[in-house]
Amino acid sequence: MGFKCGIVGLPNVGKSTLFNALTQTAAAQAANYPFCTIEPNVGEVAVPDPRLDELARHGKSAQIIPTRLTFVDIAGLVRGASKGEGLGNQFLANIREVDAIAHVVRCFEDDDVTHVEGKIDPVADIETIETELMLADLDSLEKRVVALEKKAKGGDKDSKELLDLMMRALVLLREGKPARLVERRPEEEKAFAGLGLLSSKPVLYVCNVEEGSAATGNSASAKVAQRAKEEGERSVVISAKIESEIAVLPLDERKDYLDAVGLTEPGLDRLIREGYALLGLITYFTVGPKETRAWTITAGTKAPAAAGVIHTDFEKGFIRAETIAYADFVAHGGEAGAREAGKLRLEGKDYVVADGDVMHFRFAN
């Protein structure tokens, strides 16, 4: 199950520096984790999770395999991208392929790095990119709605329902609001996703600040955080320059460097975790002598589908899931202790997996 977060931003905001730090991090992880792969514009990184070390210690596991998240470096955007300006067409095509957007905005002053708009205004930068996405969506929907109206008038029930959804999106877009704000019922989610609207993607604002503000942020990043709060989105403060320096340091030197710049962890760790949360993802674990492994599922997934992430046969032949909450697994020293304390539960097909569950699936061949 692959989840992709696209990194976007105007030119000279630090997007490439940030992505390079991510890919360097992925390259360093490849020595420890067998799944890491890197392509020119794709970095697949482990999701930091301190629970893995605790579980592996209690399970006496020989290997730790974290879950992962893919970041895609998307071509830079300029004003007019919706009309094909710059690399506009490539930019829009790439965004369609990702599940969420990490929008890098410049929150630092540097006379040596010019700003494409001539001034530092992260909120205006956000509006530039969002406007291009909304214009592309508006154009797409207006082209499709005419044909759909004919089908709906002919009595086609599915067309009527889809048309209603499209019209709700059009109303918002014409008001200058992104499609992700469309009010919709849970049963409409699949049809809404099928519209392929660029402005419907969840957004994480990444505030790229100067080194001195990496721990606390600055006035520019505070404006972005306020906007994110108003939209119900997320934001994270990061110094791409610091992250690029951390990424190439040996592991045993990183803590001293972090202490020196006033950070408790790399900003990339926060970025990865926020991207994971943005996608509505949670983690469950399998623990044994061979390995402790994290598995990614969407929140609300039931036990059989969660088992299917490991292997489709597990879902098809699902019988039950032996389940221990993470806190109980650790508190009682592992599976045997949790079992003796009555903390191991047998869950059936309707069980909704919780973040941190340690699971063992029983299935029929």
CATH 3.30.460.80 fits 300-363, yes or no: no
Same fold, 4-49+67-118+202-278 and 129-199: no
Residue partners of 50: CB distance under 8 A and separation at least 6? none
pLDDT digit string (tens) for 48-57? Answer: 899 999 999 9
Report the pLDDT value the prediction gives residue 84, as an integer from 0 to 100. 52
pLDDT digit string (tens) for 119-178? Answer: 788 999 999 889 888 998 998 899 888 888 888 887 778 888 899 999 999 999 999 999
The confidence band for 212, taking pLDDT boundaries of 50, 70 and 90, is very high
Burial 110-128 (b: 16+ CB within 10 A, else e): eeeeebebeebbbeebbeb
Q: What residues are designated binding site for ATP?
A: 12-17
Query: Residue range 322-328: average pLDDT?
Result: 98
Output the pTM of the full model: 0.81
- Give the pair of three-digit tokens for residue 338: 């949790």
Query: Residue range 342-348: average pLDDT?
Result: 97
- Give the pair of three-digit tokens for residue 113: 């790095």
pLDDT above 90 covers a percentage of the chain that reads 52
Query: Residue range 79-104: average pLDDT?
Result: 69
Domain ranges of the chain: 4-49+67-118+202-278, 129-199, 300-363
Secondary-structure class of domain 129-199 per CATH:
mainly alpha
Report the pLDDT value the prediction gives residue 93, as an integer from 0 to 100. 76
Taking Cα atoms as reference points, which of 217, 249, 15 lies closest to residue 129?
Answer: 15
- Is pLDDT of 38 > 50? no
Q: CATH number of the domain at 4-49+67-118+202-278, please? A: 3.40.50.300
The confidence band for 79, taking pLDDT boundaries of 50, 70 and 90, is low
Report the pLDDT value the prediction gives residue 251, as an integer from 0 to 100. 82
Q: What residues are designated binding site?
A: 12-17
pLDDT digit string (tens) for 253-291? Answer: 999 999 999 999 999 888 888 888 888 899 999 999 999
- Is pLDDT of 321 > 60? yes
- Please state, in angstroms and rounded to a whole number, the distance separating the CA atoms of residues 252 and 249: 8
What is the residue-averaged pLDDT of the chain?
Answer: 87
Report the pLDDT value the prediction gives residue 299, as an integer from 0 to 100. 94
The confidence band for 88, taking pLDDT boundaries of 50, 70 and 90, is very low
- Is pLDDT of 205 > 50? yes
Residue partners of 5: CB distance under 8 A and separation at least 6? 69, 70, 71, 72, 98, 99, 100, 101, 102, 204, 275, 278, 279
